[in-house]
Amino acid sequence: MKGFVRWALFVSLVAMSAQLWAQGMGKSEDRKAQKAFDAGLAAYMNQELEAALESLRYAVNRDDGFVEAWLMMGQICEDLNRPSEAADALREGLERRPRGFLRGYADWVRLLHMSGRYDEALEALEDVERNEFLLPIRWEEGELAAWHRTRESVRFAAQAYKQPVEVQARAMPGAVNTADPEYGPAITLNGLTLLFTRESRADAGHRQEDFFVSTRRAVGAPWEDAMPLVSVNTSGNEGAAAMAGDGRSFCFAACESPRYDYFGRRGKGSCDLFETRIENANGRFGLGTNLDAPNTRAWESQPSLSADGRTLLFVRSISVGPGRRHADVFFATRQGPEDDWSAAQPLRGEVNTPGDESNPMLHPDGKTLYFVSDGHPGMGGKDLFVSRLQADGRWGSPKNLGYPINTQADEGHLLVTAAGDLAYFATDRDDPGNLDLWELELPMSARPSPVVAIEGRVTDLVSGQPIEGAMVEVVSDLGELLAQVATADGLFSLPIPVGEKWWFRAHHPHYIMSIVPMSLSTWQPAKRLDIALSRLAVGSSLVLKNLRFESGSSLLSDGFQPDLDPIIEALRNQPDLRVRIVGHTDNTGNPKSNLQLSEARAQAVLEYFANAGLSRERFETEGRGQTEPLMSNDTAEGKAANRRTELIVLD
């Protein structure tokens, strides 16, 4: 977008020159000033910008009223990324002929804003609107919308600058940062393994992007020396990783080389998204496979994965004209961690704009998204924003993270930890030109819901051996899936949001499911949960402790049934399995009524299965009342344990 604005300004200058010359006002009466201007214009057309600027400075020193020279200086200073100098030069030209170049007022306000001169930008905006300088302009396509965004950003930035957020930023402790640029951080749920991109000088002398990994002993401890991820790195560029919570797989971007294609990978053109996983007991990652459907011949990069592994966010950049590109956040989905990805669609909601969006980071809480944009009101460059997931599945109105997290410079990728209080980002504020990884404490208004990493291993109850490919899931009390992962060597790591009730379940086609209610009131670095599953065999049983009946009734409550819903899928995967449903009660009331209640509740479970499409012939029901207590009925805890429904495998 900025390139488009600069080109529009140049075209406007050329048009203005023709108009001024036609009126006899475009040239200087000082011959040396005019000669210097002509030399500057020729140098500019040859892209010799510093030489052009030197000639134009000489011209205005000779003729202070040389309007065209001042305006051309503004153009060149912006091309050289000197917005403050550009604003001053443009102002000089506008002051000398206030009605000669009306479009220049929009650029003057924009350049002051880009320079971080927020009070001056607001004052200039008010002056432009008061004098109605822009009313006569016939805007080209997109220009009026761009001016409206500038106007909103100027007002936002002036206010944000006066009310800064309190943040503490510091370089990452430890040995991650070097004299080479480091950026693009990704981290495991437990906060102990960091994956990032480092740009270094390769043997052939060119700059090369590779992945490096660092670990630390505990959350808050310094990071150890980083090692290159040799099994993924090639002599091409790899970067922008999105790591799974357990650190055993990650998505990344790799780009095409005119000579070496994708360095052993298969691609579709430009930059594509790939996924790699740990392939053997040595812990080595594979080279990476193409994600296929989300990729096109356009530029795809900067992936972010949801905690359940079923939603992928990334950035797609497409050409929209000569030298112009446009970037938006897209998303793709899949049914499970092992399934194929769908084709991608633009992210739903209010995140994408006519400007550029990039660097999406979906927090493990599943409902907080951080991203970079220059299309929403901001501080002058590309700013960091946060958006929240709405009830209709769309992303809500973004909130700027404020000053001084955002400045007039371009801010980059933000990675927010599981706890939600700390974020990592790349900056060159301590060493201009060399990006390092820093950390900052997020203001409360920008924090996600904190999550705790639940880590453990799923094993066979009898043999103690890990169960490969068991599915471990976190489900809300309403039945919404937050996170899931298939175990590798039995291991898993999943997030549990703090302060809410969740269900933790593990299942495998050949085992009886484990379902555990879980609620954590305070954050902690990680919590261990090892799960032992019993094999499905004749006589094996599963106790359903969390059936939700209407109070004092045999009718199951409407809505999510944490014990029953996942079992339905398991029974569909085992179509020949026959099951007896047995109801039990405590000793409250008389034995005859308890027997009838237990029979009715067993029958209610059968009806639930039948309504889900399972054949009735696969089930038997039985009520045993209060005759088989698991614990003493003398305590409330014992009574609760005895009120249960049991599934027994028949054959």
For the domain spanning 2-162, the CATH number is: 1.25.40.10
Beta strands 299-305 and 289-290, pairing class? unpaired
Contacts of 330-334 spanning 24+ positions with Cβ under 8 A: 330/294, 330/300, 332/291, 332/293, 332/294, 334/309, 334/310
Q: What is the pLDDT of residue 551?
A: 65
DSSP string, 200-211: EE-TTSSEEEEE
What tokens does 497 get? 């949001």
Residues of the chain with CATH 1.25.40.10: 2-162
Question: CATH 2.60.40.1120 in the chain, residues?
Answer: 450-535
pLDDT at 8: 44
Residue 509, pLDDT score? 83
Closest by CA position to 489, among listed 277, 308, 339, 281? 281
Q: 419: Cβ–Cβ under 8 A, 6 or more apart, which residues?
A: 191, 450, 451, 523
Residues of the chain with CATH 3.30.1330.60: 537-651
Fold classification of 537-651 (topology level): 60s Ribosomal Protein L30; Chain: A; (3.30.1330)
Per-block mean pLDDT, blocks of 10 residues, the chain (651 long): 42 48 64 94 93 96 94 94 95 92 94 96 96 91 89 97 91 93 93 93 73 94 94 90 88 87 88 89 87 95 91 94 90 88 97 95 95 94 94 96 90 90 87 87 94 93 92 87 87 90 88 86 89 85 81 77 81 87 91 92 92 93 93 90 89 76
Query: Domain 450-535 falls in which CATH fold?
Result: Immunoglobulin-like (2.60.40)
Q: Where in the chain is the domain with CATH 2.120.10.30?
A: 181-446
CA 576 to centroid of chain Cα atoms: 43
The predicted structure's pLDDT at residue 2: 42
In this structure, are residues 226 and 210 in contact, taking their beta carbons and an 8 Å threshold?
A: no
pLDDT for 202: 63
Give 200's strand partners. Answer: 208
Residues 388 and 396: beta-carbon distance below 8 Å: yes
Contacts of 371 (CB under 8 A, 6+ apart): 329, 351, 357, 358, 359, 360, 361, 384, 385, 387, 398
Which amino acid is residue 426, in one-letter code?
A
Per-residue confidence (pLDDT) for residue 9, from 0 to 100 = 46
Per-residue pLDDT, 22: 42
CATH architecture of 181-446: 6 Propeller (2.120)
Phi then psi dihedrals of residue 109, to 5 deg:
-60, -45
DSSP state of 225: P
Q: What is the pTM of this model?
A: 0.84
Coil, helix or strand at residue 41: helix
Find where tokens 């214009």 sit.
Answer: 41
